[in-house]
Amino acid sequence: MTVIDSEKVCVFIPFAGGSGLSFEALRRAVGDYMPVIGVTYNGRYQKSVTPAPGTVEAMANEVIALIDNLAAREVIVFGYSLGAIVAYEVARRKHEFGTRLISLVVAACRAPHLFNCAQVTLDESEEVFVQTVSRFGAIPDFMLKHSAAKARMLPSLIKDFHAAAKYRHIPGEPLDVPMMVLGGKEDPFAPIQDVIAWKEHSHNFVRLEFFEGSHFFLTQHIPAITQLITEFVSPAAPLPVSSQYLETSARI
């Protein structure tokens, strides 16, 4: 029987258009080891007097406020796609919250200095936007198949992509927080070379792992990703990066 460690909490930061209810299977799996909190931004899927965040900075502000109110002593932050950039910006500002950040896990995202939304058409109709985003596998399948889900998610998805398009990385010191980076081997939205480049943003790079699949590879690898998120991270004993990816990195 798994014993839940209530001293730790895992904060899930979703992909563009996602919410705190995204990736239910992974949240449940990680929840066997520690409490899990999914981030739902203000103004997301509910009426709110507070406007939804329109920039990555505003998203990070909301996550930092959430973490600062947690009772747990230690936090693991997991960010997926756009959520990975938000998670990174949260980690850069870890001095702003009292809870200790023990691990940063980022997935399905280019490194911050390479992050862009150039492939996505933002200034045309909603249908053109959906077509361009879906071409890169950056929309969950259920949204395309179900009109109700599409109608519910689309406004937030568009707003999040506009926020993502505004993001510009400001150079600074690499993070000292233990960092894991996960990618999909066939992800056109976050190519292998651009995912490997996360190494430039950490003094404490623990692991780089690529999985079979495209942008939402996570749904195919719940047990393995659960193990990575919940394993003890030791800065003194980083796990090796596969030589094939080191060779690719050298060509960046």
Q: What is the mean pLDDT of residues 184-200?
A: 95
* Residues 91-110: b if buried by 16+ CB within 10 A, e if exposed: bbebeebebebebbbbbbbb
- pLDDT reported for residue 232: 52
State the pLDDT confidence band at 153, using cuts at 50, 70 and 90.
confident
The verdict on residue 3 lying in a domain is: no
CATH number at 102 reads: 3.40.50.1820
The verdict on residue 2 lying in a domain is: no
Two tokens at 68?
Answer: 């600062």
Task: Identify whether the C-beta of residue 85 lies closer than 8 Å to the C-beta of residue 57.
Answer: no
Q: Measure the CA–CA gap between 216 and 222, rounded to whole angstroms.
A: 11
pTM: 0.84
Q: Which amino acid is at 86?
A: V
The verdict on residue 1 lying in a domain is: no
Side-by-side strand order, sheet with 36-38: 36-38, 8-13, 74-80, 100-107, 179-184, 205-211
The verdict on residue 110 lying in a domain is: yes
Q: What is the mean pLDDT of the chain?
A: 83
Q: Measure the CA–CA gap between 46 and 44, rounded to whole angstroms.
A: 6
The verdict on residue 100 lying in a domain is: yes
Residue 31: domain span: 8-249
Number of domains in the chain: 1
- pLDDT reported for residue 212: 97
Of 195, 196, 203, 215, which is closest to residue 179 (Cα–Cα)? 203
The verdict on residue 176 lying in a domain is: yes
The structure tokens 């203000």 sit at 42
Residues 17, 20, 24: CA angle, nearest 5 degrees: 100
**For the segment 87-106, what is each residue's pLDDT rounded down to a tens digit?**
999 999 999 998 899 999 99
Of 82, 76, 136, which is closest to residue 108 (Cα–Cα)? 82
Cβ of 7: how many Cβ atoms within 10 Å? 11
Q: What are phi and psi of 16, to 5 degrees?
A: -55, 130
